[in-house]
Chains A and B, each alone.
Chain A
């Protein structure tokens, strides 16, 4: 099966700093990757669709200047949470699109 990795798996940062999360498709090329966010005891909500070589498409209510997405290659998409605040603390999960979506293991972000 296809494998997607995320790095880091956990990150703790101070309020006001920026955090970069990487999503890699290890054994396939993903023209499209998706970023989801999951708050405690809630479901996954789509944040944005990341397309290789073009600008990401953001869901309503997701600030594109705060959540910067770069999909520079067919195997790597990055999500940078800029000027993070405690309310950005969440579980961030990416997926790579092949014949179906393959999910990464998630990144838990805690902003103090």
Chain B
């Protein structure tokens, strides 16, 4: 069942600004992952953060995880028009389990 919830549902910013998206979930997790999806295309894996990690960086991406609040955030710094896409968080209860996807945040970055 769907358990992740992202906010905001939609976000519009200008190039160069930072974009922050949040994700909340309801049950215990093994990992939390963030994916990007361009309109009508497949998923692109961005970053995975394990339940015992609190923060992770990858290029312009910064992900935090607060298991006490059951929430995660994705920060994209110095955004570019090419970052325009939908962003989903996904959790799994354990290794080998299916992923539960959040509803997604639609990000629009204007030049």
**What is A's interface to B at a CB cutoff of 8 Å?**
32, 34, 36, 42-46, 49, 59-60, 91, 93, 95, 97, 99-101, 103-106, 108
A-B contact count (CB 8 A): 46
**Which chain B residues border A91 with CB–CB below 8 Å?**
40
Residue-wise, chain B 67-110 has the 8 Å CB interface mask toward A (1 for contact) of 00000000000000000000010101001101111111000000
* Chain A binding surface SS class: strand
Given A44-B88, A100-B31, A105 contacting B42 (CB threshold 8 A)? yes
Write 24 A-B pairs (CB below 8 A) sorted by A numbering: A34-B98, A34-B99, A42-B103, A43-B2, A43-B88, A43-B101, A43-B102, A44-B43, A45-B2, A45-B101, A46-B98, A46-B99, A46-B100, A49-B98, A59-B1, A95-B99, A100-B31, A100-B33, A103-B45, A105-B41, A106-B41, A106-B42, A106-B43, A108-B40
